[in-house]
Chain A
């Protein structure tokens, strides 16, 4: 962006219209960002810290120790990278190749399958800018952007004026929420909130396909057919419709076939086009998926062997930890000890952890080696891939007092 606008790397929206004020080498005020973005952009003023066994160490000593752990491991795991730049992610892929490591990110237990299907062109998709300029019907399904992507509705999907939508939400856009609870987003959708029971999504999709196809929609939980037909009619009338798919929907499905089928049927029956966008959370999870896909043909869960990538759920972080097949872990910008079930992640405590993260986390506290690194978008620049696949480049706001994750990865690689 021109001028003094910055990019917020607080979530997958990568809002690029952020203004800041600085005071004493730190971000003191943040304008335009959401509550999460403001907190995120004020993070980056910490001093560089390198630790070995919980004690302060010179960076060079910590690099040496990290390299030693990785060299001695038979099957190291490299995990995280959803909050790293494309450049750092490519470096991590290179490192994984060199180490014959298992490589995975959080997408293996969240929206990875949807991004994979998207990259394999299994459904129609679009950008958030398309939605802002043309979108008339948006469906938030198992997703609550008001909490997870706070500016989604105001910057892109519902409230703004767009090139072809000059009268905005008041007259020209219809927002629909399908969820098991009345989320904050569902409240905004008013009477277009469709509450279904937990696990009821597949049936609801099939009933909706029937409704759109002129058949009587039925569910075992007796969702009122009249309401389903009302929804089917709104969707059929769409000129530019988009389903925003959240984890609530994904976790409820056995596989993606029903939702892909629904998008296909809507494209046959609706007035215009229908699209699906996964509600990617971390600011560059999609970037990781795309970078790994370009390199190996897979979006996550790979194990390198002599330059070749093997792929399967057994190489997912969760299954690798459950089966105890990995004997060291390099975690970049993630906190698996907090974000994974304790029943599984406790096995992480039995192997050496190297942590690279801007923050102190549960994982960094248990790490053999920890590097406190720059917050991307605040202390360092780079590029990332927004949740809709648009590449966004960003500059740093502050002069970094600490290394970037990419620099640490490069140094570890050199030390191997």
Chain B
């Protein structure tokens, strides 16, 4: 028996910064409801140490959530040389937008690049589909 399955799934807190990706942008233009756009968008890039702490391998799905929303995305290693534990990156997309706060200080500008969320293993669950 896998003793680990009785333990609560390790959950880590991250700050997510969004960015632009040429491959994802191209996929959106070709078909924003297609698999390629989903694969290049529903993606969170993390520090390898954070993945290890969650018991998540690169390519596995994770639950990313906060009080504004919850998505299931694929986790990847960022590939950045400088360690960035607690800091994660997502391409700007409807998936990242599910997690952006409605707090704008009355100035009309949401914090697209400053998202607080928790991440935990999705234990094989599928990536969230694009729908409202």
Contact = CB atoms under 8 A, between A and B. Distances in A.
Interface in A159-206: 180-183, 195, 198-199
B129 to A, nearest CB: 12
Contacts of A359: 29, 32
A362 B112 contact: no
Nearest to B110: A341
A362 B132 contact: yes
B29 A39 contact: yes
Interface string B99-119: 011101011111111100000
5 contacts: A36-B25, A109-B109, A147-B19, A198-B87, A314-B106
Interface of A: 10, 34-36, 38-40, 43, 108-109, 144, 146-148, 150, 180-183, 195, 198-199, 247-248, 251, 301, 313-314, 316-319, 322, 335, 337-346, 349, 359-362, 366
Contact of B102 (A39, A199, A317, A341): A341
Interface residues of B, number: 41
Interface of B: 15, 17, 19-23, 25-26, 29-30, 32-33, 68-69, 78, 80-82, 84, 87, 89, 93-94, 97-98, 100-102, 104, 106-114, 130, 132
Given A198-B15, A342-B69, A144 B80 contact: no
Contacts, number: 125
Nearest to B94: A338
A382 B108 CA distance: 31
Nearest to B115: A341
A181 B80 contact: yes
A362 B94 contact: yes
A35 B22 contact: yes
The list of the 6 closest CB pairs from A to B, nearest first, reads: A316-B108, A341-B100, A343-B102, A39-B29, A338-B94, A343-B68
